[in-house]
Structure 1
């Protein structure tokens, strides 16, 4: 029987750190995936020319990448792991004798330098540009979805607060459409929401709940988070992450918002920022059922993109007629019920819905009334949005072969991105407080995701090239693929312009 309990542990190792780190270790993939020296020119304006020498910014950012790439979820524990892990020391460029930066060093640098800068966006963009240069990113179709991330806040510590109802970006345009529709039907125009006066308490100066206001729960620990409650999920304070990715799972954009905002409300700002960067290359947009609203359908279609949305079940009671069973006549502007009776237009409300009502006398003696309405006045009401035609146009795309090809990829792209980041990169919970800090943290998390995917795809190229006996020059390949990518963008934009001009003709 072998017994190694008395083996001496004070041995000498005559070897370099590079020899001790396995060739297939993940830190080697991360080191070869990108040239980390790009951080120096980005961080140089944040440092002073005077004073004692600072900690290398590349080491600091590599530490945070180790933190989230390997799912450690604590900077204090990350520093302890670096002290004993030779692979982490090799990645940071530290020898065995070098002292590992203290965990408070990163937090102090964030407070004094990085917190108010755009360096997190630049690091995320630089990793994504590297993937685009290698032609790993397919911008033709983008997939979007939202997920909630539990905030670092106590659910019991909150207070009720009256806040002003935020104005939506399309309110002015919608009000114009409503007034035009009401005018065409001989109705009076509605007033602007700005004309509503908010009530204030003279003693405290706070808002009083009424028109233009609402009461919400606000966390006293993290006031910028939002109270999230959906279905059987636990009621908690959380943040919403709205993310877009490509066909291969590379994250293109991420926006963080309070958890009490619906995904469709956050969509506009995130989508516009995505279009500012990649608008010319994007042709198709795939979203889930939560985004199937008239406003979003209009925004996507007016921008010249093709929406690939799923089928959304009618939200009606069981045993009653569905809305599609009432036929809409565009010429007469009426709905026809299953008993072949007319539902005529009555008004257009301030939410943008046109109301069509039946004749109570017809419904009173109708044999199908039990499947139609249970109202006391025996009257059926159907609502139709002023932008309903955009939603109907988006629904018609579901019957095309292209929809069957693109939409099923959602579960393999954006859903997989969220699953990987929650399981591997600590996306389930947040340990920082505030919208800006959570935005920075989410950029690092998705940057880790993109970097890992970039490293694996680069490794695959090198492996295939070595099998064929071809020497691959990385710099030449990057420049060549950049030129090819720019050509593709120009060709796609020119073809898209031709198609749009022909369709308008």
Structure 2
């Protein structure tokens, strides 16, 4: 067979329509068939004026985002260029061969000026998820929660060290009420709500002043909303944390983005609230990573009538020493028994919500098991138990 060699460019005029050129099994056809995109128009109607020149079709602008993500293009600037030469993308957007594709500047300015401070993206997300639920694609019975970190586009060496106020956790007021109930039951004085504030003497005014608890954190000069993240062997960087819940089929049900220096057990509550505000009646089981096994999280999930499942978490005990579960709690007498059958009696309930149980130093001083129990100089073993510990124990059973 003779070799064929093309000379120059082929300028043949294509008489076929775009509809005929797009394969029937192409992803854009499936995407267009499974979602009714007309729901976007009423969601964005209040963001447009009734006067002035015609705007770019808002459905086109949002479909461009789907092309960017689904086909893994990454850069929105590159996406605009790809649409210009890709017939399948043009068909999906409804842009003809001789029609101009919105450039990156047009897309970005619409995003910045019109959509960035609105809730339209969340509404679109909810509407698409609602369509998926109506088709039976989503299984709400069991949800799975975890977080993932995304590196911010910020130089890790360019930052300022700033002092910021320590924000209260969402459950702190309820925890303080529980602490005070427990302290009163044991004849202790309640902890005041402002006890976390320290009183200092101001030499300039000659008066006492209250100092709110603060901490020092690194603030990126490039992206101040990100947070400095460093975990294990991972590279230290500025990042964001995405707390996400999904079903067993991989459909994302709720997602909240926070700074990368926020612990998973803290960001959980905001994402969990978003999830329950929409689907609480449908959710029966919540599966989480071991890092979420805290008394506050266990209490929150169980009190919502949902079962919580989490993997076994190895006790963080010094090697060679007894594990906490080897000290038996007696609920009737509200005390602990050590491996040598000595009593650790209730001492106090601290402001973090932990009840402290302490041994008698005389029992420990000559105890043959002391080397595996405690290394304290006053010969006293202390075991702590959270006021909401029963919720954590129910999850772990």
TM-score (norm 2): 0.94
Name the counterpart of 2:374: 373
TM-aligned CA distance change 1:199 to 1:5, over 3 Å: farther
Task: Verify: 1:248 aligned to 2:233, yes or no.
Answer: no
Contact 1:264 1:290 in 2 (8 A): yes
Cα distance in 2, alignment partners of residues 200 and 235 from structure 1: 39
Name the counterpart of 1:9: 10
TM-aligned CA distance change 1:332 to 1:131, over 3 Å: same
CA offset digits 1:458-484 (Å, max 9, x no partner):
xxxxxxxxxxxxxxxxxxxxxxxxxxx
Task: Verify: 1:384 aligned to 2:385, yes or no.
Answer: yes
Cα distance in 2, alignment partners of residues 107 and 153 from structure 1: 20
Cα distance in 2, alignment partners of residues 31 and 302 from structure 1: 42
Gaps in structure 2 of 5+ consecutive residues: none
Name the counterpart of 1:97: 98
Q: How does 1:470-481 map to 2 (within 5 A)?
A: none
Higher relative contact order structure (alpha carbons within 8 Å, sequence separation ≥ 6): 1
Higher strand share: 2
TM-aligned CA distance change 1:271 to 1:162, over 3 Å: same
Name the counterpart of 1:186: 187
Name the counterpart of 1:487: none
Cα distance in 2, alignment partners of residues 166 and 63 from structure 1: 38
Name the counterpart of 2:20: 19
4+ runs of 1 displaced by more than 6 Å? 198-203
Name the counterpart of 1:114: 115
CA offset digits 1:282-336 (Å, max 9, x no partner):
1111111111000011111111111112211111012211111111111111111
Name the counterpart of 1:38: 39
Name the counterpart of 1:322: 323
What secondary structure, in the 3-state scheme, does the structure 1 residue paired with 2:216 have?
Answer: strand
Contact 1:140 1:284 in 2 (8 A): yes
Cα distance in 2, alignment partners of residues 284 and 374 from structure 1: 42
Q: How does 1:206-221 map to 2 (within 5 A)?
A: 212-221=213-222
TM-score (norm 1): 0.74
Aligned Cα RMSD in Å? 2.1
Shift of 1:201: 10
Cα distance in 1, alignment partners of residues 97 and 201 from structure 2: 64
Shift of 1:90: 0.8
Q: How does 1:2-401 map to 2 (within 5 A)?
A: 2-6=3-7, 8-193=9-194, 196=197, 212-396=213-397
Name the counterpart of 1:430: none
Contact 2:198 2:210 in 1 (8 A): no
Higher helix share: 1
Cα distance in 2, alignment partners of residues 200 and 140 from structure 1: 56
- Aligned residue pairs total 392
Cα distance in 2, alignment partners of residues 56 and 392 from structure 1: 55
Cα distance in 2, alignment partners of residues 223 and 335 from structure 1: 48
Gaps in structure 1 of 5+ consecutive residues: 397-505
Contact 2:327 2:336 in 1 (8 A): yes
Shift of 1:217: 0.8
Cα distance in 1, alignment partners of residues 52 and 388 from structure 2: 61
Contact 1:292 1:309 in 2 (8 A): yes
TM-aligned CA distance change 1:54 to 1:191, over 3 Å: same
Shift of 1:281: 1.1
Cα distance in 2, alignment partners of residues 360 and 245 from structure 1: 51
Cα distance in 2, alignment partners of residues 305 and 262 from structure 1: 23
TM-aligned CA distance change 1:355 to 1:197, over 3 Å: closer
Shift of 1:197: 5.3
Name the counterpart of 1:478: none
Cα distance in 2, alignment partners of residues 323 and 63 from structure 1: 55
What secondary structure, in the 3-state scheme, does the structure 1 residue paired with 2:300 have?
Answer: helix
